[in-house]
Amino acid sequence: MKKKLIIANWKLNGNKVSILNFLNLLNKHDIEEKCKIIMSFPVIYLYLAKTIIYKKNIFLGAQNIDVNLSGPFTGEISVNMLKDIGIDYVILGHSERRKYHKESDTLIAKKFELVKKANLIPILCVGENKEEKKLGQTQEVCARQLNSVISICGPQIFNDTIIAYEPIWAIGSGETATPSSVQKIHRFIKEYIKKYGFVNSDKISVQYGGSVDENNVAQLLYEADIDGVLVGGASLNYNKFKKIIDIVNAF
């Protein structure tokens, strides 16, 4: 059985004390074998976090990398640096990076390739905005975002990667997409990648993100193609996050 993932995206939140407190509690919490947690703290705290975590099903992820590996790129972090400190996952193409940092599909695809080449696991965020949803363009938008990776790296690159379907209108809005609509698009994403030569759907994990909390996670996970969740706001509160883990544990 494929492991159920819970990815926590802390975005630009937290400090030394809050992260240590959170991880001390998380370390002590029962997490079933079948469940895997990826904590994405701000990059400056990842090394500290690495020294604290001792449970084997808790992993760490970064929220971005630079498109270069080294050189005169002031203020940037490379995938090799993440690898150096033992980080396993990198979120790429989050809608907040697409919007506030003007990241293009092509740039994200190049970063995706770098992460794979470094043997880390990319978590590619895709999803439509409100307008695109209204126009019925959800599949088209996701296909475009997947295509840019396929055209630069080839479809096989999706083996052992994670895709997070995150409708932009659902992020931080308290408005979650319905489980059946998420199921439909997750199926579409898996079929789309398969169509381009990707064969084993066990090798790809598709997560849902967008206002996931302890009250809606169970309904989402009943769907066959929702392999886990990417949690923003609700992951900042340990009690809420613990409830999410307990629900996933029970599946």
User: Which residues contact ligand PGA (rule: CB under 6 A)?
Assistant: 9, 166, 171-172, 209-212, 230-234
The residue annotated as part of the active site, out of 128, 166, 214, 223, is 166
Between 166 and 225, CB nearer to ligand PGA: 166
Say if residues 114 and 79 touch (Cβ distance below 8 Å).
Answer: yes
CB of 96 to ligand PGA, least distance (A): 7
Q: Which amino acid is at 72?
A: P
Helix (H, G, I), strand (E, B) or coil at 88: coil
Between 11 and 55, CB nearer to ligand PGA: 11
Helix (H, G, I), strand (E, B) or coil at 5: strand
Active site residue 128: no
E-strand ranges in the chain read: 4-9, 35-40, 58-62, 89-92, 121-126, 161-165, 204-209, 228-231
Between 9 and 183, CB nearer to ligand PGA: 9
CB of 188 to ligand PGA, least distance (A): 20
CB of 166 to ligand PGA, least distance (A): 6
Residues β-bridged to residue 229: 6, 208
Residues β-bridged to residue 230: 7, 209
Between 61 and 210, CB nearer to ligand PGA: 210
Q: Pick from 131, 144, 164: which is nearest to 104 by CA?
A: 144
CB of 157 to ligand PGA, least distance (A): 22
Q: Which residue has the tokens 């340990």?
A: 238
CB of 181 to ligand PGA, least distance (A): 16
Q: How far is CA 206 from CA 19, 71, 79, 109, 229, in A?
A: 27, 34, 22, 17, 8
The residue annotated as part of the active site, out of 94, 103, 214, 223, is 94
Burial class of 87 by CB neighbour count within 10 A (0 to 12, 13 to 18, 19+): buried
Between 209 and 228, CB nearer to ligand PGA: 209
What span, in angstroms and rounded, lies between the C-alpha atoms of 237 and 99? 26
Between 43 and 171, CB nearer to ligand PGA: 171
Active site residue 94: yes
Rg (CA), the chain: 17
Residue nearest to ligand PGA (CB): 232
Catalytic residues: 94, 166
